[in-house]
Amino acid sequence: MVKRVFLAIVLTVFVYGDFKQDCVACHKKKNVNLRKTFMNALLVYGGEENFKTALFYYCKNPISLNSVMDEDFVKKYLPLKPVNLSDEKLKELLKVYWDKYKVIGNLK
């Protein structure tokens, strides 16, 4: 039991580190607020599964038609290049993104 908990903690730390490296760094460099992006996507896509699925396909094929950001953002930053991550890795990072910014369960 202790080994499983330890393994889960270690994996979480590594995946969160990847999130900071693969997602946060790029968004920060482009001055794009991840929380605002999250809230925009949440308003459009609603629940967790729709949110993750839509962002997965957007990351793989980032076209303005699929963007949840406002027109000024789209004009400034698109076209973006598709992310160069495996499908599995991208899904892990989207889970971290969801867990970090979701409202339910994160209120204190």
Q: Which domain holds residue 45?
A: 2-101
Domain total in the chain: 1
Judged against a pLDDT cut of 70, whether residue 2 lies above it is answered with no
Asked if residue 62 is part of any domain, the answer here is: yes
Q: What percent of the chain has pLDDT over 70?
A: 78
What is the DSSP secondary structure assignment for residue 63, as one 8-state letter? Answer: -
Q: How many CB atoms lie within 10 A of CB 103?
A: 9
Instruction: Summarize the confidence of residues 81-97 as an average pLDDT.
Output: 91
Contact 48, 97 (CB under 8 A): no
Any domain includes 93: yes
Q: Is the peptide bond before 82 cis (omega within 30 degrees of 0)?
A: no
pLDDT averaged over every residue in the chain: 78
Assigned token pair, 45:
């896509």
How many Cα atoms within 13 Å fall on the side-chain side of residue 51? Answer: 19
* Cα–Cα distances in angstroms (integers) from residue 43 to residues 12, 32, 37, 39, in the given order: 27, 17, 10, 6
Q: pLDDT, tens digit, for every residue of 10-46?
A: 344 444 567 878 787 887 888 888 898 899 889 988 8
The model's pTM is 0.74
Q: Are 68 and 41 in contact (CB under 8 A)?
A: yes
Residue 72 belongs to a domain: yes
Q: Is residue 107 part of a domain?
A: no
- Residue 7, pLDDT > 50, answer no
Q: Does the residue 106 lie in any domain?
A: no
Query: Residue 20 domain-assigned?
Result: yes
CA-based max dimension of the chain? 51
Contact 12, 19 (CB under 8 A): no
